[in-house]
Amino acid sequence: MSRSALITGLGFITSIGNDATSVSASLRAGRHGMVVHPLWDNPNVAVKVAAPVRGFFVDSASWRDWTWPERYELPRETLRSLAPHGVYAFCALEQALADAGLTKADLTDGSTGLFCASAGSAFMQYHHLSQAHAGNFERGNPMGVVSAIAGTLNFNLAAHYGITGAVTGFVSACASSSHAIGYALDEIRLGRQERMIIVGAEELNADTILPFAPMRALSVNPDPATASRPFDSARDGFVGTGGAVVLIIEEASLARRRNATAYAEILGWGQASDGHSVASSHPEGAGLRNAMQRALRDAAVAPAQIDYVNAHATSTPVGDRAEALALRAVFSDAGARPAVSSTKGLTGHGLSMAGAMEAGFCALALREGWMPGNPHLVNPDNSCDGLNLPRETLSVAPALVLNNSSGFGGSNVCHVLRRV
């Protein structure tokens, strides 16, 4: 491919920090974002730990009650049609634009596209539907649909920023924002767009997180320090988190013309489905193995060249085991031993946001020269035999990294990123 894509801007609103500097510091220090956090006013709910975003109040269904850090100017006409996670997304996007040295005016000529990923807002949907039912659907908030359904991010952000290029959303659950990154890379490679903005965001509230409890997917460990421990033999489920992460990627010649400082190059991507279960991973991670191999092939990189893998591992018994087996098939069987870690041990699992969040972490690691560890890992599961799972952050600069994501229905997406 003659056209390549560089990451030139990042924005983070996460449980471990609300800007790149604090996120990087948390990752390097192994500092997690979990607290005992009642998601529902009911002591009988077994789930006790979550990883909230700090500095925002978006727990009300009325935008008039919401607060966010003062430095972001969020106009009321934009605010009124947002979901709570849209507020996070707006702030992360403002941050990423400033980081890339861009303004709103740079986004309107049709050469910039916007791909977003979130599950929508079950919280807002519930509120608006209750209100509309009570009013026999004669009375209801006109913004009820656009603030709640999946797609709320792309509707709102495209309108606010006047983006006239390719705009859409991706819905593959926990692989959603990874799909957004992959297809954004294709938009640039195919010459359709010069710049793509990728947004992943989710809410942390009962309506988003607790429906995973009856699936037995959430940790009921009440200790914030150990509830999320990917690859550990004592793991018992994931810890929910919310927030937003934005990546701005630009065609390399445009980035150079603008003298933009790049974090990393997105070298290639691959996807494959398990074709196996609606919600459970393939027991041997077959789809994820194929997705990794396709991403490596697309990037023309051999397994032995990968220095670090940011694993999807969410701390669920079934998912982490499947990923460990897939990693062994791709790397151990090829005689390769990259460092592997799941940063969800620190952040919690951001669902649709996870892929973009972790691609952002990989970009920081590539530019700053370190690799995140697995600080909550004590006794690795026996499925991890032969994998290199460092506990502490490694002060070693990676040249090539692989970022894994998996979602419901067995969707698996992987990206290869390269130091620039």
Partner 1 sequence: MASDNTPSAPAKPKPVKSGPLDKFSAAVRDAHARFLATGDIDALDTVVLAIVRDHQPAEARAATPAAPPDSALLIGDLGFDSLALAEIVFFIEDLYQVSVSNEELMRITTVGELRGFIRIKVASSGASSQPPSS
For partner 1, the closer CB: 40 or 390: 40
In terms of Cβ atoms closer than 10 Å to its own Cβ (0-12, 13-18, 19+), residue 220 is middle
DSSP annotation string for 365-394 = HHHHT-B---TT-SSB-GGGTT-B--SSPB
Among 1, 29, 65, 297, binds partner 1 (CB under 8 A): 65
Q: Should residue 186 be labelled a site residue for partner 1 when binding is judged by CB under 8 A? A: no
How far is residue 273 from each of residues 172, 212, 310, 407, 412, measured CA to CA in Å?
Answer: 11, 21, 19, 9, 6
Site string for partner 1, 289-328 (x = CB under 8 A): ----------------------------------------
Retrieve residue 351's tokens.
Answer: 């669902």
Site string for partner 1, 78-117 (x = CB under 8 A): --x-------------------------------------
For partner 1, the closer CB: 152 or 172: 152
Cβ distance 85 to 201 under 8 Å? yes
Among 23, 53, 206, 288, binds partner 1 (CB under 8 A): 206
| Distance (Å, whole) CA 50 – CA 324 | 25
Which range touches partner 1 (CB under 8 A), out of 53-61, 166-174, 226-234, 336-344? 53-61
| Distance (Å, whole) CA 333 – CA 156 | 46
Q: Should residue 64 be labelled a site residue for partner 1 when binding is judged by CB under 8 A? A: yes
Which range touches partner 1 (CB under 8 A), out of 92-100, 203-211, 379-387, 402-410? 203-211
Q: What minimum distance in Å lies between the beta carbon of 214 and partner 1?
A: 12
Cite the active site residues.
174, 312, 349
Q: What minimum distance in Å lies between the beta carbon of 102 and partner 1?
A: 21
Q: Should residue 386 be labelled a site residue for partner 1 when binding is judged by CB under 8 A? A: no
Which range touches partner 1 (CB under 8 A), out of 42-50, 253-261, 344-352, 360-368? 42-50
Which range touches partner 1 (CB under 8 A), out of 74-82, 91-99, 102-110, 149-157? 74-82
For partner 1, the closer CB: 203 or 250: 203
Q: What's the distance, CA 204 to chain centroid?
A: 14
| Distance (Å, whole) CA 89 – CA 244 | 5
Taken in order 204, 79, 355, 370, the sign of the CA dihedral is negative
Retrieve residue 148's tokens.
Answer: 């709640």
Picking from 267, 227, 211, the residue whose alpha carbon sits closest to that of residue 400 is 267
Site string for partner 1, 19-38 (x = CB under 8 A): -------------------x
Contacts (Cβ under 8 Å, ≥6 apart) of 24: 17, 364, 368
Cβ distance 197 to 100 under 8 Å? no
| Helix, strand, coil share of the chain (percent; to 5) | 35, 20, 45
Q: Should residue 60 be labelled a site residue for partner 1 when binding is judged by CB under 8 A? A: yes
Site string for partner 1, 208-247 (x = CB under 8 A): ----------------------------------------
Q: What minimum distance in Å lies between the beta carbon of 303 and partner 1?
A: 47
Q: Should residue 40 be labelled a site residue for partner 1 when binding is judged by CB under 8 A? A: yes
Q: Should residue 41 be labelled a site residue for partner 1 when binding is judged by CB under 8 A? A: yes
Site string for partner 1, 141-180 (x = CB under 8 A): xxx-------------------------------------
Q: Should residue 62 be labelled a site residue for partner 1 when binding is judged by CB under 8 A? A: yes
How far is residue 295 from each of residues 163, 250, 270, 289, measured CA to CA in Å?
Answer: 29, 20, 4, 10
| Distance (Å, whole) CA 189 – CA 113 | 13
How far is residue 56 from each of residues 87, 95, 349, measured CA to CA in Å?
Answer: 9, 15, 19
Q: Which residues bind partner 1 (CB under 8 A)?
A: 38, 40-42, 44-45, 59-62, 64-65, 75-77, 80, 135, 138-143, 205-207
